[in-house]
């Protein structure tokens, strides 16, 4: 027998858990202050079966860089003989191919039907296709008669029937056209998100007829500022996503851009992302409005077994083992994947905390999006395990939006990885929308992600067994003021991409139970709790807010707060023994701070549970549990 101890704002709760051989302990804490999981992390670039209950749809990819909204022509670039054609209308089955903006209006109508966030690509490379006459030769490289120049701002009156006889296409007129169709971004049907083009770090290789020279750092920043300014003048409520980098070399030095060394000289920029964020922040100060809302990157892991895990031939046991471990690169300081990134640029990993570090330093408040990602194995259980793990990580580490990119077809297991979060029972029931801190005693072989629903009468657990040929006995302990009454379980495993309901949870004692997790599986537990009593909220608390992420963390976490101005507010951090570890005083208004796991003397504290309290005039108004894992 081993005893696990959990603390909460309500006191000390002690649960006894039987420990068996080869068992894993899972602990979940239901707290007072809950952070929302963004529904937009459950997004895609391709519709797959349309039964995935998508939270976001992205209109993106190489085709959109050369898209002309006035006549729906686009350019394939090196994906297909640099062809100008009507592919985007053809692939969508659109009949009236010359109706202005019909590619985008059709896309938005589908998003409305699915109740999904829409992310639209804006054209920043300089030119878009003028015609649908096929291959563009090198001699016809822009500027030429095969192209129309893109201007971000139209200096005269907008038209809903754009002039297709002139030499220009206007971005702000495009957004005005969409606002006229669907309303502003703050309305139920308005388009919320706009990407500042697609993979500009590769324009010279993907679109040599549009942008034959490699883009420069200064160029992409200035284009981002000018384009965002123009479209936000039309719709101030829309969100801009940028710079939509293709991969790590883009993050690091903008694909070895020739001006990278000069723009970083004399600065503390560690990689291109720092420079981009800082310049967009400076532009906000100058313009008086935020011009970048979301840091947008693409992530196709370079992790390898015998082969790179995203390759079509990555089917060996070593490849599969590497695939199920690869999501740890997003968060785990104790993991190093087999890749050139981990070998030569390990200080930039794990990725999400490193992105947060840059955001906190150079442009606080910027959200994070992964608008293209895949882990390969799209018709294999290991692909589903990886994607299910990534979705849990996105929710845990407060990613704003994620849209999967299909590399191979069929993608039956990827479809089911989304369904087990968003349509696990065939009735479009979903994983909860409020994050619950959850821990596993074996993060190498298992993952656990917790949530609860709006009503607070369900606890959802997504539990992953990464062992490909061995079941795991899971011992679950839930720290909650409410009693768990019952539990149902849905499973996805190697036997079939079909999600099935399996044996229910039994023998629940003091909110603890054991359950055998099948080999190579993703299990969704839905635990019913007794009725939650809703107490009248203290009006004073409406002015105070406290949250922290990542949580658990290593080596640092970001603590966000909101307090009234001049309220004599402060944050204390305590150990589980009640010892004051650190204080942050003189808080005023909304803000954030970084706790690096040190005490008042600057010494690093040990792993364990800590508590941050938000205090005002000597009264504790909110408490946040912090878990430091080394």
Active site residues: 199
Would you say 7 and 32 are in contact if contact means Cβ atoms under 8 Å apart?
no
User: Could you tell me the two tokens for 233?
Assistant: 């003048």
Strand ranges across the sheet with 83-85? 74-75, 83-85, 134-135
Cα 473 from Cα 25, distance rounded (Å): 9
Q: Is 181 left (phi over 0), alpha (psi -120 to 50) or beta?
A: alpha
Question: CA-CA distance, 66 to 150, in Å (whole number)?
Answer: 10
Largest Cα span, the chain? 80
188 DSSP assignment:
S
Q: How does 458-486 read in b/e, with b if 16+ C-beta sit within 10 Å?
A: bbbbbbbbbbbeeebbbbbbbbbbbebee
Phi, psi of 383 (to 5 degrees): -65, -40
**In degrees rounded to 5, what are phi and psi of residue 195?**
-85, 140
CA 77, CA 65: separation in Å to the nearest integer? 9
CB atoms within 10 A of CB 385: 30
Interstrand relation of 458-465 and 446-452 (parallel, antiparallel or unpaired): antiparallel
What DSSP line would sit under 202-232, residue for residue? Answer: GHHHH-TTT--SPPPHHHHHHHHHHHHHHHH
Q: Could you give the 3-state DSSP secondary structure of residue 420? A: helix
Per the CB < 8 A criterion, the answer to whether 128 and 169 are in contact is yes
Q: What strand order describes the sheet that includes 496-505?
A: 434-436, 446-452, 458-465, 521-529, 484-493, 496-505
2, 75, 254 from 214: Cα distances, Å: 61, 18, 10
DSSP-derived letter for residue 591 is E
Q: Could you tell me which residues come within 8 angstroms of residue 164 by beta carbon, excluding any fewer than 6 positions away?
A: 70, 71
Distance CA 380, CA 518 (A): 16
CA 264 to centroid of chain Cα atoms: 28
């Amino acid at each position: 027998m081993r005893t696990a101890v959990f603390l909460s704002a309500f006191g000390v709760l002690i649960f006894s858990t039987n420990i068996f051989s080869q068992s894993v302990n899972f602990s979940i804490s239901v707290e007072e202050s809950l952070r929302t999981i963004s529904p937009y992390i459950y997004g895609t670039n391709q519709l797959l079966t349309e039964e995935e209950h998508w939270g976001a749809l992205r209109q993106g990819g190489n085709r959109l860089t050369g898209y002309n909204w006035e006549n729906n022509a686009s350019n394939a670039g090196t994906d297909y003989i640099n062809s100008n054609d009507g592919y985007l209308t053809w692939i969508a089955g659109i009949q009236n191919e010359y109706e202005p903006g019909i590619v985008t209006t059709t896309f938005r109508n589908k998003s409305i039907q699915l109740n999904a966030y829409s992310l639209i690509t804006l054209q920043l490379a300089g030119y878009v296709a003028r015609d649908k006459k096929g291959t563009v030769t090198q001699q016809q490289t822009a500027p030429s008669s095969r192209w129309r120049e893109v201007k971000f701002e139209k200096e005269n009156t907008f038209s809903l029937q754009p002039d297709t006889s002139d030499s220009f296409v206007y971005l702000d007129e495009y957004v005005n056209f969409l606002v006229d169709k669907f309303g502003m971004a703050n309305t139920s049907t308005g388009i919320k998100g706009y990407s500042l083009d697609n993979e500009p770090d590769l324009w010279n290789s993907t679109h040599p007829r549009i942008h034959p020279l490699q883009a420069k750092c200064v160029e992409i920043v200035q284009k981002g500022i000018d384009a965002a300014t123009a479209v936000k003048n039309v719709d101030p409520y829309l969100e801009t996503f940028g710079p939509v980098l293709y991969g790590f070399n883009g993050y690091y030095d903008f694909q070895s851009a020739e001006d990278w060394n000069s723009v970083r000289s004399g600065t503390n920029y560690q990689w291109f992302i720092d420079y981009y964020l800082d310049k967009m922040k400076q532009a906000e100060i100058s313009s008086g409005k935020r011009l970048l809302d979301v840091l947008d990157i693409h992530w196709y892991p370079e992790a390898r077994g015998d082969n790179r895990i995203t390759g079509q031939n990555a089917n060996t046991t070593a490849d599969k083992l590497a695939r199920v471990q690869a999501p740890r690169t997003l968060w785990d300081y104790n993991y190093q994947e087999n890749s050139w990134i981990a070998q030569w640029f390990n200080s930039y990993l794990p990725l999400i905390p490193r992105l947060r570090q840059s955001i906190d330093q150079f442009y606080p408040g910027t959200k994070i999006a992964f608008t293209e990602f895949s882990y390969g194995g799209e018709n294999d259980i290991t692909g589903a395990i990886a994607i299910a793990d990534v979705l849990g990580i996105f929710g845990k580490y407060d990613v704003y939006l994620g849209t999967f990119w299909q590399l191979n077809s069929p993608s039956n297991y990827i479809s089911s990885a989304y369904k087990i979060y968003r349509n696990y029972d065939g009735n479009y029931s979903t994983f909860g929308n409020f994050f619950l801190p959850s821990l596993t005693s074996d993060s190498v072989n298992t993952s656990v992600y917790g949530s609860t629903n709006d009503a607070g009468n369900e606890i959802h657990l997504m539990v992953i067994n990464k062992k490909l040929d061995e079941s795991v006995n899971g011992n679950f302990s839930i720290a909650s003021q409410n009693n768990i009454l019952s539990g149902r379980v849905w499973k996805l495993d190697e036997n079939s991409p079909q999600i099935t309901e399996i044996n229910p949870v039994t023998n629940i004692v003091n909110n603890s139970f054991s359950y055998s997790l099948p080999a190579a599986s993703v299990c969704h537990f839905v635990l019913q709790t007794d009725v939650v009593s809703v107490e009248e909220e203290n009006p004073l608390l409406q002015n105070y807010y406290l949250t922290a992420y990542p949580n658990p963390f290593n080596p640092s976490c970001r603590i966000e707060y909101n307090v009234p101005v001049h309220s004599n507010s402060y944050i204390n951090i305590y150990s589980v023994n009640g010892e004051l570890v650190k204080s942050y005083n003189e808080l005023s208004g909304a803000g954030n701070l970084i706790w690096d796991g040190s005490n008042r003397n600057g010494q690093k504290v040990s792993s364990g549970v800590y508590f941050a309290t938000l205090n005002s005039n000597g009264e504790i108004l909110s408490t946040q549990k912090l878990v430091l894992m080394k």
